Structure 1
Amino acid sequence: MRFATPHALIFLVIIQAVCAAFFAADLIADFKETADMTTTHWHLYIESIATLSLVGSIMFETRVLMDLLRRKAHLEASVSVATSAMHDVIESHFDRWRLTLSERDVATFLVKGFGIAEIAALRGNAEGTIKSHLNAIYRKSGTHNRAELLSLIIDGLMVRGRIENNQTAA
C-alpha cells in the first residue's frame, strides 16, 4: 500500500491510539471489578499484555514514521541540490559553447530526451529548423550526435562531482 502523504499514516496512528485508550480504560475497569476476588483471571493478564503490546506498537510506529519523514525531507533536499548542480553544469557547457537562446532551448529539450518532432512541436518550429539548431549545437560542442553530446555533459557532471568530493575530503 502506498500513501502519497503521511496524513493517512498519522490518521491510522491516531485511530490506533484511540483504540488503545479504549482497551486501557476497559482493562482498568475490569481490574477494579475483580480487585476483591481472590481467583486468578488469566483473561485479564492476556488482555493486559495485548493492550501494552498495542501501546508499544503505536510508539514504535510513530518513531518509524518520524524517521521516514526526516529521511524523505533529507532526500528531497539532496535531489534539489543535485538538480541545481546538474543545471549549473549544463549551463556552463552552453556558455562555453556560446549557444544562442534558441540553441540552448533546443539543447535543453535534447538533454531531457525529446526527439526532433517533439522539440519542433514544443517550440512551434519546423523540424528543419530544429535540425539546423542541432547541427549548430553539435558543431559548437565538438560532437556529432545526441549520444556524444550527452556523454560530454555527463562527463562534466562526473568531473564536477569528483572535484566537489575532493574539496570536502580535504
Structure 2
Amino acid sequence: MKDKFIAVLLGIIMVLNFFDVITDISLGVPTWHIIEESMIVLASAIGFVFLIIEIKSRTQHIQHLKAELVNSDIRIQNISDEMKYARTKYSELIYKQFNEWKLTKSEQEVAMLLLKGLSFREISGVRDTKEKTVRQQASSIYDKASIDGRHEFSAWFLEDFLQTHP
C-alpha cells in the first residue's frame, strides 16, 4: 500500500512538473531552468516506472505463492490414506501445542506458515497484512513458546521425528 502511495505521488509530481516545463517554455524562461525541471520530470518518471514494475512483480510473486499453497493442499489430498491420517494427527498435535502456548488465531496462522517455510514478507502477502505485523506476531509466538527464533521453533516440532542412525 505504501509503495502504491509513493508511486501515485511520484506520478503527480511528474505530471505537475511536466506542465510547469511546458508553461516555462511558452513564457521564455531560461534554458537552464527548463533543463533542471525536465530532469525532475525524468527522475520522477524513472521512479514511477520502477515502482510500478516492482509492485507488479511482488503482486505476481504473492499470487504465485497463493497458487503454490493451493497446489500443495491439492497434492496433500492425493496422498495415501495412511499419510492423510498421520498428517491429520500431526496437525492436531501442532494445534494442541499452539493452544497450550495460548497462541491467538492469527498467531496460529502465522505459526503454521512459518512451519511451512514462508518468509515474513511472503506471510504478510498471503495474509494481506504488514510485514511488521507478521514480525511482531512471530516474536510473540517465540516468547509464548519460550524459544529463541524461527529455527528453534521449527526444530521444536521436528526433533522427535528425526532419529539418529546407530
Please classify the TM superposition score into its range, dividing by the shorter chain length.
0.3 to 0.5
**TM-score, scaled to structure 1:** 0.47
**TM-score, scaled to structure 2:** 0.48
If you compute each CA radius of gyration, which structure gives the higher value, 1 or 2? Answer: 1
